[in-house]
Amino acid sequence: MTQNSELGTRNSLIETRALVKAFGLLPVLRKLDLDITRGEFVALLGPNGSGKSTLLRLLGALSKPTAGDIHIGGWKLPEEAAAVRAQIGMVSHKVLLYENLSARENLRFFARLYHLPAAQADERITALLEQVGLARRTHDLVRTFSRGMQQRLSIARALLHNPDILLLDEPYTGLDVDASSVLDALLTDAHAAGRTILMSTHELNRAAELASRVIILSRGVIGYDAPTAGLDGLRLSAIYTETTSMATAR
Ligand code: ADP
Ligand code: MG
């Protein structure tokens, strides 16, 4: 597999052009153009059904576009999905974990999948389990975990291979106050370390506070796109209502 020859001319780490995804006759994304630069932390907002998960799944190479182009890090999707997946850590609704393995065994399994050397992997797994507050449940089977604990483990799994890009689909859902602050800190660190983050969420305060840019999806296109500088949760909430109600009125 060769690196895309146009790489040198691309400024965006994540780029979509006229991206369309339809389910049957229903178009969910309608010619979406998106550019995300390396190091940006983008909060993806939008009502239920606006296409946030659909977009994240496409970017994570978990589904294929109906039409249009996707490039990530110079690689083209869906053709170069394996190369793209290696750069991405994904936290989605579906918890991608094995119920009959322990927390540590799950992470070991994924470490092998990412070809991490065993010794290095074990050290990293210990640190990550500590970070997400699961150190004491290391050897317990995942099927005995609460939904929030599974979510914590999914977050550890997403960070395991030190990916350049994090795609998170409503990662705060199901987390308690404590786990939510752990995630705040992990995301802040990841952003400071130069990782590129795209996260769907309904938490407008968090979006305004943590992210560097906010995008509101509305009827399958970008209805609003701006830096979060100067935005607080209240202002963002007003913008959100305006953007999404305009779409309903159309
Ligand atoms: P969001 O994550 O913003 O709530 P989704 O991307 O999950 O929205 O869904 C957008 C639209 O696409 C919804 O109308 C949903 O019913 C539809 N949709 C999503 N996935 C599928 C699928 N696999 N088959 C059919 N329709 C789907
Ligand atoms: Mg969704």
pLDDT of residue 248: 57
Q: Which CATH superfamily is domain 1-87+164-250 in?
A: P-loop containing nucleotide triphosphate hydrolases (3.40.50.300)
Is residue 8's pLDDT more than 60? no
Residue type, 163: P
Distances, alpha carbon 66 to alpha carbons 14, 28, 34, 72, 101, in Å:
18, 10, 16, 17, 36
Q: Is the CB of 54 under 6 A from ligand 1?
A: yes
Res 1: pLDDT: 42
- Say yes or no: CB of residue 243 within 6 Å of ligand 1: no
Residue 187 has pLDDT above 60, yes or no: yes
pLDDT digits (tens, 9 = 90+) for 28-41: 999 999 999 999 99
Nearest atom of ligand 1 to the alpha carbon of 48: 4
Q: What is the pTM of this model?
A: 0.92
C-beta of 53 in contact with ligand 1 (< 6 A): yes
pLDDT of residue 47: 95
**Ligand 1: distance of its center to the CA of 82 in Å?**
24
- The CA distance from 196 to 191, in Å, is 7
Q: What is the pLDDT of residue 9?
A: 52
Confidence band of 2 (pLDDT split at 50, 70, 90) = very low
The DSSP secondary structure of 168-214, one letter per residue, reads: EESTTTT--HHHHHHHHHHHHHHHHTT-EEEEE-S-HHHHHHH-SEE
Domain boundaries, the chain: 1-87+164-250, 97-162
pLDDT for res 148: 87
Of 25, 50, 54, best ligand 1 pocket probe by most atoms within 8 Å of the beta carbon = 54
Ligand with smallest separation from the Cα of 92: 2
The CB of 16 under 6 Å from ligand 1? The reply is no
In this predicted structure, what is the pLDDT of residue 3? 46
pLDDT tens, 204-237?
A: 999 999 999 999 999 899 999 999 999 999 999 9
Instruction: Please tell me the distance from the alpha carbon of residue 42 to that of residue 24, in angstroms, as a whole number.
Output: 29
**Averaged pLDDT, 160-165:** 94
pLDDT at position 218, please? 92
User: Averaged over 178-187, what is the pLDDT?
Assistant: 92
CA 81/CA 75 separation, integer angstroms: 8
**Minimal CA–CA distance to 70: which of 59, 54, 56?**
59
